[in-house]
A = this chain, B = another copy of it.
Amino acid sequence: MRLVNMEEKVFKDPVHQYIYVQDELIWDLINTREFQRLRRIRQLGTSFMTFHGAEHSRFTHSLGVYEITRKIISQFERHRYEDWPAEERMVCLCAALLHDVGHGPFSHSIEPIFHVDHEEWTCQIILGDTEINRVLRKADERLPERVAAVIRKEYPQEIVVHLISSQLDADRMDYLLRDAYYTGVSYGTFDLDRILRVIRPHQGRIVVKESGMHAVEHYLMSRYQMYWQVYFHPVTRSSEIILRNILKRARSLYQQGYAFRFLMDPLPALFEEKLTLEQYLKLDESFMQMTLMQWTKEEDAVLADLCDRFLFRRLFKYTPLEEKDKPFVNELRMYMKDLGIDPDYYLEIDFPSDLPYYVYQPGEETSKKAPILLLGERGQIIEISEKSEVVRSISGVHKGTNQLYYPREWLKQQTSAWPAELRDFLGM
């Protein structure tokens, strides 16, 4: 790899104080168009509607993941751990920096609708005709392939994959600290320095010195708290549902040949699920928000209304839905239809347990879910939940109150004729 030395550069960062860039390759990657684009993709999607401070972008998070990875590696190097493959440093740093580069706007809402997979796009950006690809290739012809392999979790040196994507990876460590900082909640705080001090490479894995178990418990508890307090917050869920329904409606209209007043490239390609790389890169949150703004003037009342709701935060209200309440949903659906409100876009049950998150699951051995291993004093390896009752307790948590979302303010005036039980259930 032809690496060019350069004077250390720093970024001021509110979470890590400073982010240190010591390699020209990293500097050049940060300055590519594709990486700069991450400034226009928010890290927490629609969470800013619940926590107004959470307006930070994936750009800042990506720098943070890079910085934590850099610190981990520099610690491994300082201690000269034998199990650390020193030659993997640059691949690690690049993968850390670029791991989210394929994210589009409001990924959690858009991806399931249009079958977009940000990891796949990340690889295309690394391997395709992009500035990132050129910068990587300039350093080493094989670097794009290697970095993409890390993203795909197919890189032969498993430890490299684990640094970027495991239960205790640089990605999670940065986003917990960062999301806590920007939302202002105190839950996400844990002792990063201490964790950096107790992890080490061991036979192709990252393990934690047993004496550091409590620091990891603390980190996992932070995660647990952040999920239930921030990531799954029902107000955020409400805005995500509305956004998803906007996209479903727009696609449906498009398929029916509806004449949009506003439909700019690359929206048709998005609806037809045949975006080129260049088109995908145009999709940022400015584009999406501006589109929604235009659509508030569309003739289609459902589309216009949903966009208005999203942009001006007139969200659906929610009611906890227990198993026994299920019959009410059908009843409500019927009454809504009577009122001319299409339940396909205005009534939704949300199952948090369906969400692609989990606090900690030691059992399944997929890439992202690689368990956290403790290294005992005598060199033995122990899965953390065997040792920690706290971890065990949160591993099993499937809280998941289901919630029913609907435009309460539209129904409020109309319910006099509804059955008392239904009104009771809705609290109206």
- Give chain A's interface residues, CB within 8 Å of chain B: 10-15, 17-18, 31-33, 36-37, 39-40, 48, 51-53, 55-57, 59-60, 63, 181-187, 189-191, 193, 197, 214, 217-218, 221, 224-225, 228-229, 282, 284-290, 293, 311-314, 389-390, 392-394, 396-397
Contact = CB atoms under 8 A, between A and B. Distances in A.
A203 B312 CA distance: 41
A327 B40 CA distance: 41
A133 to B, nearest CB: 16
Contacts of A17: 184, 193
Contacts of A182: 14
Given A48-B39, A282-B293, A396 B389 contact: yes
Centre residue among A51, A190, A191, A282 by max chain B CB count within 10 A: A191
B228 A214 contact: yes
A64 to B, nearest CB: 10
B56 A60 contact: no
B218 A52 contact: no
B55 A185 contact: no
Contact of A13 (B52, B288, B389): B52
A11 B425 CA distance: 27
Number of copies: 4
Nearest to A14: B184
A154 to B, nearest CB: 31
A225 B214 contact: yes
Contacts of A286: 285-290, 293
A190 B12 CA distance: 15
B10 A183 contact: no
Contact of A197 (B10, B40, B185, B293): B10
A410 to B, nearest CB: 16
A189 B185 CA distance: 11
B191 A186 contact: yes
A284 B184 CA distance: 26
Contacts of A186: 189-191, 218
Contact of A31 (B33, B193, B313): B313
A33 B312 contact: yes
6 contacts: A13-B52, A39-B52, A284-B289, A285-B286, A287-B293, A389-B393
A186 B193 CA distance: 11
A12 B193 CA distance: 11
Contacts of A184: 12-15, 17
Nearest to A320: B377
Given A313-B31, A396-B389, A397-B389, A218 B12 contact: no
B56 A53 contact: yes
A18 B218 CA distance: 18
In the A-B complex, the 5 residue pairs with the closest CB atoms: A393-B393, A14-B184, A286-B289, A290-B290, A286-B286
A343 B285 CA distance: 33
A184 B389 CA distance: 25
Given A36-B313, A225-B217, A59 B63 contact: no
Nearest to A43: B55
Contact of A390 (B11, B32, B229, B394): B394
